[in-house]
Structure 1
Amino acid sequence: MFQDKYDVIVVGAGHAGSEAAAVAANMGATTLLVTMNLQTIGQMSCNPAMGGIAKGQIVREIDALGGLSGIVSDNSAIQFKMLNKSKGPAMWSPRTQNDRMRFAEEWRKELEAIPTLDFYQEMISGLIIEKGKVVGVKSSLGIEIRAKSVVLTNGTFLNGLIHIGEKQFGGGRAGERNSTGITEQLIDLGFESGRMKTGTPPRVDGRSLDYSKMSVQPGDDVVSKFSYTDRSNKLSRQRDCHMTYTSPLVHDLLREGFDRSPMFNGRIKSVGPRYCPSIEDKIDRFATKDRHQMFIEPEGWDTVEVYVNGFSTSLPEDVQFKALRSVVGFEKVKFFRPGYAIEYDYFPPTQLKHTLETKIIENLYFAGQINGTTGYEEAASQGMMAGINAVRKIREEEAFILRRDDAYIGVLIDDLITKGTEEPYRMFTSRAEYRTLLRQDNADLRLTPSAYKLGIVGEDRLRTVERKKEETEKMIQFFRNTSYSYPEMNELLEEKNSATVTQDDKFFKVFARPQIGMDDLRRFDEVENYIQEHDLNEDILEQVEVQVKYSGYINKEKENADKLNRLEDIKIPENFDFSKIQSISIEARQKLKAVQPVTISQASRISGVNPNDISVLLVHMGR
């Protein structure tokens, strides 16, 4: 049934698995994608949206590296928003509302278009391990499939247990069975495992809602997209979302079911995502708040199904229904299905290398929720990095690792490997100390040259990025060198309530003012003629504006990154015995031994390792 041996087998076809399989196959590796249900490839298990705060930056980074999440998101979008536009560009975050069915369809089409990618539908119940190295997988039918490397992206399916009130049953997602066998084998091999939980809200019939009682949440007037390529288009029409609120009555009705809640009666013992709590958790933790926002999100262009964002719950279905009918606009609501919570197995990510290869079993990679993360975007980025490194490892090529100042993806993986996580990890802009460098607008400049060297993207795409960089630098120099006429400039400055000038000067100085944008300066013939003569697109103009206005912050952050990166160059020998260094604290020795950092910089980020411990390590490294 199968070729003698694949280069890469990917287990699971969610966001992590789809990106892992796509990038491995696009790098020329023979790849097999195994999933329990080929009809749910790229399924949006929770909300029908991609991107958002920090997550939008990750999607653009995936696209810049040659991944497919951005293209799939653009081609299935029903609404686009750039969040945080009132703040600086380091905080701007693109987000799409998506058509759930088209999203999965687009993923299936993209994957099936890759010639070196094979598919198989069945549950993988075990791994084939020989001499400490993974060499294949075993299916539930007893079929053995051989491979040089394996990427596990099991999502919430590993011993998944669904909770609705006092009812519980095995499942990896509503309507789908869970996966068994792998956890037990990995534990026998010496892995440490844990349990996490996540939840999802009810899905309801949009025809039963009264939208006139809710506030409209439209998309942006000026629409952008995730992908830097021309393989996707900007939306020409959009669907509105809506917003309403819970109330004290709704909270009281929900409290009536707390004695039957698996969260409060002890049935659920695992930890859920702190930043996406259930509605019962919100009214318990924030008892003084008399209302909470609910965002009413359509599931697609051609369906009446609606996602009730902000009402995630595992309360009994009768309690969910009664409470939801007391929400403004939901008085006649009809359910498609109730909300539920799901518990599943994960493996603390400190057991991985920065490549996402496990430390215990060679050529075995973990990506996505198996590593304790939450979110489509976080999963997809891990899948991509695992796929890249699985291919490079079997080709005996240097590992591809992104630093914290390279990408949000680098921050994500470094946080997981170095600090671990005891609750579902979600990316935020605040986690990235170099967020001014890691903007959504420059992901292509940061990462596409690496994607070209890796063989993921072609020369045409590299040339596009090089032109963007070159034209940006040229136009910034144009602003530095070109003078304006001060009477004409003062007309603009007075309109913008900005201090006027008394003599001609360079455009750069005025452009650096927060009140003055690129569109304002285009009224000057010198600027508009330059743009037309050089045929500059919106991406280049945005890049010029950001770099002019924030050059001081950007340069300072680069300096800080360069200082810390000197510690990245100080490598710690493999299998270094930290227990022999008696002059560092016991806690530090224990943490260092568990994490096995590969550089001094990584060691410095481990919780429990203090600056004095790092000084001692530097002495031992001959520094």
Structure 2
Amino acid sequence: MQQQAYDVIVVGAGHAGCEAAHAAAQMGSSVLLITMNMQTIAQMSCNPAMGGVAKGQIVREIDALGGMSGIISDKTMIQFRMLNRSKGPAMWSPRCQSDRMRFAEEWRMTLEQNPLVDFWQDSVQQLIIKNKEVCGVITRMGIEFKARTVVLTNGTFLNGLIHIGEKHFGGGRMAEPMAQGLTEQLVQLGFESGRMKTGTPPRVDGRSLEYSAMEEQKGDENPSSFSYLTESPIQEQRSCWITHTNTQVHEVLRKGFDKSPMFAGRIKGLGPRYCPSVEDKINRFADKDSHQIFVEPEGWNTVEIYVNGFSTSLPEEIQYEAIRLIPGFEKAKLFRPGYAIEYDYFPPTQLLATLETKLIQGLFFAGQINGTTGYEEAACQGLMAGINAHQKAQELDPFTLSRSDAYIGVLIDDLINKGTDEPYRMFTSRAEFRTLLRQDNADERLTGKGFDLGLATKKRMDKFQQKQSDVAQLLDYIKTNKVKPDEINSWLASQGSSSLREGTPIVNLLKRSDLSFSTILEHPLVKNIKDNYSQEVIEQAEIIVKYESYIEKERLMVDKMKTMEDLKIPETFDYDKIKTLSTESRIKLKSIRPQTIGQASRISGVSASDVSILLLFMGR
């Protein structure tokens, strides 16, 4: 038996657990990763995809810091698309379809290649706590493992309850047992817990579908990648497909409403508002005759299909009858029905910005245990918890990200200050500085931080610095080199752009709204730029030039915000002595105990006048 004391124990090997274990071990901590099943490490329990709107930015941020989700996504993708290309660059979001079996395999191989990561297949039922400090865990087999820090990433397994129609049974995922004991112990220790719900659609046999009745959705013609280290993007891609429900489908689904665990009240937890079940959609949007269904392959060498948009917990016979009325699904064979799952979570206002719990030192929570939904949201929390568990174990300074540093910072700040009573999902609209937090500049924002921590490698840092140098050279070139009217005017006219009256730097052409860099680079005068600089560098330079005023405006806003963040509130500050604070504000401030005035200002229930009172009381 491994009787050594570990620096970090990670409980759970989903997306959060894998990133936590990798980060802590990469930085030099000894890590024990405990999972109920070694065959389901990094399991894509729901859709076989990574990224998407705002989520793709998170994956790039994980990668820039030195995490693995981007690299593994690049190695195992079957299709890549950059979403929102028709909008501004702050909205561009990378997304890929993944080979779910290869994704899990790559994660396991990555973790096994690190000699500082040990594994144990078991369920953790109890924490070892002494003097409000975690000292280890006790497994279902009664084995004790000692550690300086523990990261809980239990996903949907804490007292998980699966619902299909009127049937319900314990489970963390289909055919996998739930985890018991931890919730009960944490509640006894003083933690507040709650229940949440999520769901998943049926899986079908792709050989039984008629794709000619659907709309094909191909990947990008010139695909990119998630990781800044990936040099060869995907060459061959698999198509996805789009079809729609119809009134017949909706009528059949309605027949099962009386047996729906959601409508019958058997499900108590709230589900994700922005990813509702199909029965919830046809109930809430009764005026709509159809809803989109995305038909997504689960990998290169499997016939299994994920029916995105058809998440449901209705009886399996209703699911089967309804799905066969969808165009292209008339002969569909089910591999397994969809189901809903309820599970325990712990309101994240009980955490510090490091994701360490306020009640128990050395104990960290990451992922769905904090009330979030989505692989990407879980992975970034796991990364941050793993970093800080290492820092705590080695008695080093904590590491946090602000709202102006990263979407990761926005997510954690939202969770610890506002909490959540429904599964939290990241959107670009949650970030007030999204022009600064683009997917293309995550390395500029975070690679230096990751390198200083010892997480991002020297190879990554060198590549980032080379990119920065190339961007600076290109910007200097287009600012100092001019084009003359007689050289360019006829071409400008052909592009519907106004003529020049005098020689002008190339950068001034790029500032025009009716010209893109890719268009300008077709002109013989500047065609050499494509030979000397990568597409990534050209794209970065174009964004800097075209959005310079917006970027500068947001930087000024960040500077103002940092003034508030620099005003520290003593840990023992007595809010009761400020009689002019509102009652709600006083209760919230005493409960969350913000570390700065800026953090206090973002707590739900703390008004602007309450913040002014705090500033006055602190002599500001």
Aligned-partner Cα distance in 2 for 1:270–1:491:
65
Unaligned runs of 5+ residues in structure 2 are: none
Return the alpha-carbon distance in structure 2 between the equivalents of residues 569 and 275 of structure 1.
Answer: 35
2:487 paired with 1:485: no
Matched residues in 1 for 2:406 and 2:248: separation?
Answer: 45
> What is the letter of the counterpart of residue 227 of structure 1?
S
Is contact 2:521–2:529 with CA below 8 Å preserved after alignment? no
State the one-letter code of the partner of 1:580: K
Corresponding residue of 1:471: 470
Range with bigger deviation, 15-24 or 504-513: 504-513
Q: Assess if the C-alpha contact under 8 Å between 2:157 and 2:343 holds in 1.
A: yes
Aligned match of 1:385:
384
Deviations 1:206-250 (CA, angstroms, capped at 9, x unpaired): 1111100000011000110101013x7411110000000000111
Report Cα offsets for 1:286-329 as digits up to 9, x if no partner: 00001000000001111110000000000000000101111111
State, as a whole percentage, how many aligned pairs show the same letter. Answer: 60
The whole-number CA distance in structure 1 between the counterparts of 2:59 and 2:584 is: 37
Match of 1:611 among 596, 608, 617: 608
Match of 2:569 in 1: 572
1:16 maps onto 2:13 in alignment: no
Correspondence 1:145-544 to 2 at 5 A: 145-230=145-230, 233-525=232-524, 527-530=526-529, 532=531, 535-544=532-541
Moved more, 590-599 or 571-580: 571-580
Instruction: Using the TM superposition, name which of 65-74 and 571-580 deviates more.
Output: 571-580
CA deviation after TM superposition for structure 1 residue 364, in Å: 0.1
Taking the aligned partners of 2:529 and 2:303, their CA distance within structure 1 comes to 49
TM-aligned CA deviation for residue 593 of structure 1: 1.1
In the alignment, does 2:34 pair up with 1:34?
A: yes
Residue 55 of structure 1 is matched in structure 2 by 55
**Aligned counterparts, 1:75-114, within 5 A:** 75-114=75-114
Q: Distance in 2 between matches of 1:159 and 1:54?
A: 30
User: Please, what TM-score do these two structures have when normalized by structure 1?
Assistant: 0.98
In the TM superposition, residue 525 of structure 1 has moved relative to its aligned partner by 5.0
1:518, 1:545 within 8 Å by CA — same for their partners in 2? yes
- What SS is found at the alignment partner of 1:527? coil
Structure 2: how far apart are the matches of 1:83 and 1:514? Answer: 21
Instruction: List runs of 5+ in structure 1 lacking aligned partners.
Output: none
Aligned AA (1:542):
E
Residue aligned with 2:482, SS: coil
Structure 2 CA distance for aligned equivalents of residues 490 and 289 of structure 1: 52
1:599 matched residue in structure 2? 596
Two-structure CA RMSD over aligned residues (Å): 1.1
The residue type equivalent to 2:618 in the other structure is: M
Please give the secondary structure, in 2, of the residue aligned with 1:103.
Answer: helix
Per-residue deviation, 1:398: 1.4
- 1:385 partner SS: helix
Indicate the larger mover: 127-136 or 505-514.
505-514
Distance 1:142 1:94 in 2: 44
Specify whether residues 530 and 244 from structure 1 end up closer, same or farther in structure 2 by C-alpha distance, changes over 3 A only: closer
- The alpha carbon displacement at 1:343 in A equals 0.1
Paired residue total: 620
Q: Tell me how far apart the structure 1 counterparts of residues 530 and 254 of structure 2 sit (CA, whole Å).
A: 61
Q: For 1:101-132, what per-residue CA distance to the aligned partner results, in whole angstroms no more than 9, with x for missing partners? A: 00100111111111111001000001000000
Q: 1:175 deviation in Å?
A: 1.0
Give, as a single letter, the amino acid of the residue that structure 1 aligns with 2:187: I
Shift of residue 483 of structure 1? Answer: 0.9
Instruction: List per-residue Cα deviations over 1:43-96 (Å, max 9, x = no partner).
Output: 000000000000000000000000000011111100000000000000000000
Which range moves more in the overlay, 612-621 or 546-555?
A: 612-621
AA matched with 2:23:
V
Q: CA deviation at 1:4?
A: 2.2
- 8 Å CA contact 1:74–1:233 kept in 2: the answer is no
TM-aligned CA deviation for residue 579 of structure 1 = 2.2
Distance 1:155 1:78 in 2: 26
Q: Distance in 2 between matches of 1:168 and 1:460?
A: 51
Alpha-carbon distance in structure 1 between the residues aligned to 2:328 and 2:528:
53
CA contact (8 A) 1:199 1:312 kept: yes
Per mean C-alpha deviation after superposition, the further-off stretch among 494-503 and 579-588 is 494-503
CA distance in 2, matches of 1:576, 1:270: 35
1:440 alignment partner, SS class: coil
Contact 1:75 1:233 in 2 (8 A): no
Report the residue type matching 1:594 in the other structure.
S
1:325-374 deviations in whole A, cap 9, x for unaligned? 11111111110000000000000000000000000000000000000000
TM-score by length of 2: 0.99
Instruction: State the alpha-carbon separation in 1 of the partners of residues 92 and 170 from structure 2.
Output: 40
Q: CA deviation at 1:495?
A: 2.7
Give the AA of the match of 1:527: V
Q: In 1, are the aligned partners of 2:64 and 2:456 still within 8 Å (CA)?
A: no
1:256-301 deviations in Å (ceiling 9; x for gaps): 0000000001100110000000000000000000100000000111
Q: Matches of 1:584 and 1:526 in 2, distance apart?
A: 66
Note if contact 2:66-2:457 (Cα within 8 Å) is conserved in structure 1. no
**What's the counterpart of residue 560 of structure 1?**
557
